Amino acid sequence: MGIRLIDLMLNLLLSSLLFSLAFSASHDGLVRIGLKKLKLDQNNRLATQLESKDGEGLRASIRKYNFRGKSAAIQYGSGAISGFFSEDSIKVGDLVVKGQEFIEATREPSASFLVAKFDGILGLGFKEISVGNATPVWYNMVKQGLVKEPVFSFWLNRNLKEKNGGELVFGGVDPKHYKGKHSYVPVTQKGYWQFDMGDVLIDGKESGYCGGGCSAIADSGTSLLAGPTTVITMINHAIGASGVVSQECKAVVEQYGVTIMDLLLTEAQPKKICSRIGLCTFDGTRGVNGGIETVVEEKDRRSSGLHDSMCPACEMAVAWMQNQLSQNQTQDRILNYVSELCERLPSPMGESAVECGSFSSMPSVSFTIGGKVFELSPEEYILKVGEGAAAQCISGFTALDVPPPRGPLWILGDIFMGRYHTVFDYGNSRVGFAEAA
């Protein structure tokens, strides 16, 4: 069995740049994977098409390896692949991981691998979400004693003038990559690197969006910062981002707004309000995120065209009104606010635009993790694409509704990890954040 060098793709997007893996080296007991910046193709701001002067980058040196033939399929948030398992020794930097299973993709319907300048995806989650109960490469690196500590960390270089895109470090952390000390939180559920998150702050003020607590994951494979549609809509409204109009949502507010508020003041179970007024065919939702995000199984929404269109809109209206009532807002103000939100829903592609000249008037958005506040400024949560008059500015907050049992979830992707150096402590089952250097 020979050694196959596989390009490790992390699909890291920060500001208007994309990262691909460059030359890797190891010293001081750490295995360092350098990240290289690539310009983002303006024709597709969400990173499915890339342009690079370096063409294909590192390529595989292939000898004979074990073909196992067992079929495999993976469903991602934005696509899927299918293929089969094989086994070989995998070279990561200067290390050789022996007997590593991997999937050779033979079918990728969305064709993103064909237009992008990467060869594959390196999964760094827990074994609980691995396909076919395969042992992830990171587990084998630890088991075979190839790393100094059972820890890996990400540093993304936010300086757009520098070619160095950052580093993925296996075996520990580099003190040059961060300032101060890391704040750690325990992993609450293995699979993703999942942890508990507190409230979201807008300009330093509690929003109540996650007043009862939310679940979040840190994920370098997510370019932006994703959260439930209901809450992302409120955040984008707070920062002045545009969106798309939902006529169903506006109809719910106009026809049932006052009734919903009256029921919120008297109904002990707000989750049942939409069924009580006849817009949903079920008598409660399947999951709650911080008291405001509701998720319903699709089969509950398919009984009629009315419920297909009006039920989700009603759920969002209930959540928004509940949030505003907790802040002691008046009825008129609540109805106006919710009507505005109905006009600012994230587009199907998850993009919401802002005026590039409005950064100075936009609020900070912060996330509470482990009792500590992690702030993002407009310059850090807005993605600027292009230059001059042709420049477009996109909100870094994108809607993504992860269904139960895994969801609802917030995904702190590269927008967040660019500001905060992130440590994935496998040995102690925890995640740490510190200000990036």
Q: The CATH number of the domain where 191 resides is what? A: 2.40.70.10
* Same-domain status, 330 and 384: no
Tell whether 196 is covered by a domain.
Answer: yes
Q: Find the domain containing 313 and state its range.
A: 247-342
Residue 43 has pLDDT above 50, yes or no: no
- Which of 133, 148, 172 is the last residue in one of the domains? 172
List, for residues 267-288, the tens digit of each pLDDT value.
778 889 999 999 998 655 443 3
* Same-domain status, 369 and 309: no
Share of the chain above pLDDT 90, in %: 52
Q: Quick one: pLDDT band at residue 51, thresholds 50, 70, 90?
A: very low
pLDDT at 294: 39
* Same-domain status, 64 and 165: yes
* Same-domain status, 334 and 361: no
Residue 48 has pLDDT above 50, yes or no: no
pLDDT at 99: 94
pLDDT at 59: 33
* Same-domain status, 336 and 372: no
- SS3 (DSSP) at 86: strand
* Same-domain status, 18 and 134: yes
Mean pLDDT to the nearest integer, 30-45: 65
* Same-domain status, 14 and 127: yes
* Same-domain status, 163 and 182: no
Residue 434 has pLDDT above 60, yes or no: yes
Q: Supply angle C-alpha 403, 85, 98, rounded to 5.
A: 110
- SS3 (DSSP) at 431: strand
Count of domains for the chain? 3
Tell whether 238 is covered by a domain.
Answer: no
The structure tokens 């230059």 sit at 387
* Same-domain status, 188 and 291: no
pLDDT at 133: 85
Mean pLDDT to the nearest integer, 388-415: 90
Residue 176 token pair: 């040059």
Mean pLDDT to the nearest integer, 31-46: 62
- Which of 295, 323, 342 is the last residue in one of the domains? 342
pLDDT at 2: 41
Of residues 150 and 55, more confidence is placed in 150
* Same-domain status, 48 and 113: yes
- Spatial CA neighbour of 350 closest among 47, 75, 118, 18: 47
pLDDT at 40: 52
Alpha-carbon separation of residue 117 from 102, 133, 283 (angstroms): 20, 29, 48
- Spatial CA neighbour of 25 closest among 193, 239, 188, 174: 174
pLDDT at 217: 97
* Same-domain status, 164 and 181: no
Residue 69 has pLDDT above 50, yes or no: yes
- Which of 312, 342, 372 is the last residue in one of the domains? 342
pLDDT at 212: 85
Tell whether 236 is covered by a domain.
Answer: no
pLDDT at 113: 62
Alpha-carbon separation of residue 122 from 90, 141, 188, 363 (angstroms): 12, 13, 23, 35
Say whether the peptide bond before residue 408 is cis (omega within 30 degrees of 0): yes
* Same-domain status, 432 and 376: yes
Mean pLDDT to the nearest integer, 280-304: 46
Say whether the peptide bond before residue 270 is cis (omega within 30 degrees of 0): no
